[in-house]
Amino acid sequence: MLADIDALIKKISQRAGIPEEEVKRRIEEKMKEFAGLLTEAGATYAVAKELGVEIDLDRELSRRVLIGQIEPGMERIDVMGRVLRIYPPKTFQKNGRTGKYCRIIIGDKSGSIRVTLWNRDVELVEKGKIRIGDVVEVINGYAEEYNGQTALRLSFDSRLLVNPEGVDVEAPESWEPHTSTAQLAEGQNNVNIILRVLRAYPPREVETSFGKTKMRAFIGADKDGTVRVVLWGDNAELDLQEGDVIEIINGYTRQGTAGINVHVGRSGYARKREDLREQFQAVAGRSRTETITPIAEVEDGEWATIRGIVVQIYRITPITAFCNVCGARATWENGEWVCTACGSKDVRTSPAASIEVDDGTGVIRVIAFGDAARQLYGKNEPTNPNDDPKQMLEHLLGDEVTIRGRVSERSDGQREMRAFRIGRPDYQQIVKRELEEVERMVGTD
């Protein structure tokens, strides 16, 4: 008999109070009774039931492993993880039949893995019974390679349990790279960020287009600046105090009246990070204003703030659109935006622009999307991909701008900056800082 069956026989023997040999004999008789139509595992389950022993056959025969131990080709594995991300369900057609699938990311202390759900399990996502932060147990899953990474799939005899009683899972400390406040821009999804709470507002119930829900806001900060965070639904129940360190997983950004806001909805997850409290103790929400770096000195991979004159406008596609229903890209058809996946016309748009800036030490091409691009366009924002950004931004030529962004090297060896904030220089502040520096220097003599 299989080693797994032997262990199960031992458990049945102990619970039923009969010798193991007796259990084996009954299993063999049961298999003969069904003339080979019953597997050894099935016969074992039938004998256990006759003896009044409750067993979960799938769980007993699967191997419990940590996520970090999973390798492609492993079968009948049992793994627990906390849901870190949920992707929108999709439909497919095969052999004339229509089905549904959905991918989620789960994690434990050893790592994270993509899990593919099918049909009946997809309904758990659609009905909101699987949410970010829930603990799920995959029983009888099998591992495969997907786009060069290990992934977990559920077959017809697999099972998925949501929030098993008495079970908790420690999610990975860092399962995906975190962003910073300096990198935030309008229209971003899948935002992971860690912030220290500077000010927490009380939770309240609000009326939205989807009905009543809970909302709670706080002002958070990291070493680069501050941002307003809005927690929705169950996330709004998180107990917040000034000084807490909060990790946000799978948030999204929207433009608010005073700048970019980070939102955490039903697909997002907010949790306290007591282990990082000391590390964030010195974070006090200092101004985002950084030292101006000469363009000639910026380097590949560096975050920098530059100031210079706009000397060229590039012609690029000035706007893209994404579906508010399924998140897919939308296309411009017959004078309106239409989702390429579900056909919805409920979309959100994100402008784009590209300029060249010269500060006297060098020149650099700047690419801007979302809110950063809006700061360039102003009221003259593009509405469709046929608009000409060279004409719409021509008024910027000769203007001085201050840009905060990340520098990278293009395939042609030239440097390029992805802008996250664009503004006009505050000359009063510049003069004030220069006077303060003069006074400091004079005071040291």
Query: How far is the C-alpha of 305 from the C-alpha of 295, rounded, in Å?
Result: 9
Sign of torsion, CA 61 107 134 265? negative
What pLDDT does residue 426 have?
56
Superfamily of domain 295-429: Nucleic acid-binding proteins (2.40.50.140)
pLDDT digits (tens, 9 = 90+) for 270-283: 888 888 888 898 88
Average pLDDT for 35-64: 67
Q: Which CATH class for the 181-276 domain?
A: mainly beta
Superfamily (CATH H level) for 62-162: Nucleic acid-binding proteins (2.40.50.140)
CB 114 within 8 Å of CB 151: yes
Instruction: Confirm whether 62-162 and 181-276 share one CATH topology.
Output: yes
Cβ(86)–Cβ(130) below 8 Å:
yes
Give the model's confidence band at 437: pLDDT under 50 very low, under 70 low, under 90 confident, else very high: low
Bridge partners of 128? none
pLDDT in tens, 171-221: 665 555 678 888 888 788 778 899 999 888 888 877 766 678 888 888 899
pLDDT beyond 50 at 164: yes
Q: Which residue did the predictor score with more confidence, 427 or 230?
A: 230
The answer on pLDDT for 110 being more than 90 is: no
Contact partners, residue 138, CB within 8 Å, separation at least 6: 77, 78, 79, 80, 81, 106, 115, 152, 154, 158, 159, 160
Taking the domains of the chain in order of start, what are their residue ranges? 3-60, 62-162, 181-276, 295-429
- 412-419: average pLDDT: 89
pLDDT band at 127 (very low <50, low <70, confident <90, very high): confident
Is 50 exceeded by the pLDDT of residue 286? no
> Tokens 């009774």 correspond to what residue?
33
Closest CA to 180 of 269, 297, 327, 280: 280
pLDDT at position 287: 44
Look at residue 425 and tell me whether its pLDDT is greater than 70: no
- Reference 143, options 67, 60, 56; nearest CA is 67
Lowest mean pLDDT among 57-71, 362-376, 395-409: 57-71
More confident residue, 383 or 164: 383
**CB-side exposure of 324: number of CA atoms within 13 Å?**
8
Burial of 424 (0-12, 13-18, 19+ CB in 10 A): exposed
pLDDT in tens, 336-379: 999 888 888 888 888 999 999 998 889 999 999 988 898 898 88
Check: pTM over 0.85? Answer yes or no: no
Runs of H (alpha helix) within 51-179: 57-61, 120-126
Condensed to tens digits (0 to 9), the pLDDT of residues 302-344 reads 888 998 888 889 999 999 988 887 778 899 999 999 988 888 8
What pLDDT sits at residue 37?
A: 57
Two structure tokens written together for 13: 């023997």
No. of helices (H) and no. of strands (E), the chain:
8, 22
